Structure 1
Amino acid sequence: MEPTRTQWQVRCAFNGFCKRVLKNEAINAYNQRRQRQSREMTFSDLTPLEENQLYSLDKHYEGEETQGFQVAGKRITPNLLAKAMHTLPDEKRTAVLLYYFFNMSDMEISQLLDIPRSTVQYRRTSSFERLKRFLEVHADE
């Protein structure tokens, strides 16, 4: 079935329109890429000042000597406290962290860990004694 002359003209006009649109889009994409490349630079071309603006450092523990607190004449720093926590067995450390940092009760912790409530209480209290002994020995070192 041959298209009529009008259908053929419409098809040719649409074909020409599509080609123009594609050609113009290709030109736009090329121009945008060229403009973007003119504004971009490689890392090796950056000055040291510009390079330092690309990142930031966490200075939370910088100058740790000034951070911390005094308790009973002993200096307790965040680093020392972290070391003390790492001396605890995992199950005792978990009980202490859940109780103090997640504000969970002994009952909630016992349900979460599927252990008796009295076990949670024992782990917490024995952990405090262990932490106390560690901090007494290692504070002010």
Structure 2
Amino acid sequence: MNEPYRTQFEIRCAFNGFCKKALKYEASNAHRDVRNRQLREVTFSDLTPDEESQLYTTDTYSFDEADKFFFVAGKTFTAKLLADALHALPEEKRNAVLLYYFFDMTDAQIAQQLNVPRSTVQFRRTSSFELLKKYLEGRAYDENEW
């Protein structure tokens, strides 16, 4: 500072003026940026079908016979076998398994939805594994059988 004898009030006023000027210029910049962005923006309804198709992409999947099988612990399983195994479970156990593993629900959430205690949901879910194991062991193909 060149003026050593400025009062505290004068210093605050000078700083206040500086802040107001900075905010004014920043607001001006923000308004300019918004105006420039609005000039470049196009609504979806104004797009041609060709332009619209460039905004997204779709995945294509091919399902070969090899994709229908998966191998675990020397056994070959098909998606249909797994679906049949789930369908063979009693309905209350199947619901607990599906809600837990496919809908990412906790035991407490499942219990609230099914109106049963949480421990019942946990028992149904864990006991389902034994039933699924027995079902799949009897029907899975050994890799060596191919």
Secondary structure of the 2:71 match is strand
Instruction: Give percent identity, aligned residues only.
Output: 59
Quote the offset at 1:76 in angstroms: 1.0
Instruction: Determine if contact 1:110/1:120 at 8 Å carries over to the other structure.
Output: yes
Secondary structure of the 2:76 match is strand
Quote the offset at 1:68 in angstroms: 2.5
Q: Which residue of 2 aligns with 1:140?
A: 141
Q: Which residue of 2 aligns with 1:71?
A: 72
Q: Which residue of 1 aligns with 2:82?
A: 81
Pick closer, same or farther for the CA change 1:77–1:126 going to 2, 3 Å.
same
How far apart, CA to CA, are the structure 2 residues paired with 1:130 and 1:64? 28
Instruction: Determine if contact 1:99/1:105 at 8 Å carries over to the other structure.
Output: yes
Aligned length: 82
Q: Deviations over 1:23-57 (max 9, x none)?
A: xxxxxxxxxxxxxxxxxxxxxxxxxxxxxxxxxxx
Q: Does 1:129 align with 2:120?
A: no
Q: Which residue of 2 aligns with 1:100?
A: 101
Q: Which residue of 2 aligns with 1:12?
A: none
Gaps of 5+ in 2: 1-60
Q: Does 1:115 align with 2:116?
A: yes
How far apart, CA to CA, are the structure 2 residues paired with 1:64 and 1:112? 38
Question: In structure 2, what residue type is equivalent to 1:94?
Answer: N
Quote the offset at 1:126 in angstroms: 0.8
Quote the offset at 1:73 in angstroms: 0.5
Question: In structure 1, what residue type is equivalent to 2:86?
Answer: M
How far apart, CA to CA, are the structure 2 residues paired with 1:69 and 1:107? 32
Instruction: Determine if contact 1:95/1:124 at 8 Å carries over to the other structure.
Output: yes
Quote the offset at 1:140 in angstroms: 1.0
Quote the offset at 1:65 in angstroms: 5.0
Question: In structure 1, what residue type is equivalent to 2:127?
Answer: S
If the length of structure 1 is used for normalisation, what is the TM-score? 0.54
> Once superposed, what is the RMSD of the aligned Cα atoms?
1.9
Quote the offset at 1:67 in angstroms: 2.2
Gaps of 5+ in 1: 1-58
Quote the offset at 1:69 in angstroms: 1.3
If the length of structure 2 is used for normalisation, what is the TM-score? 0.52
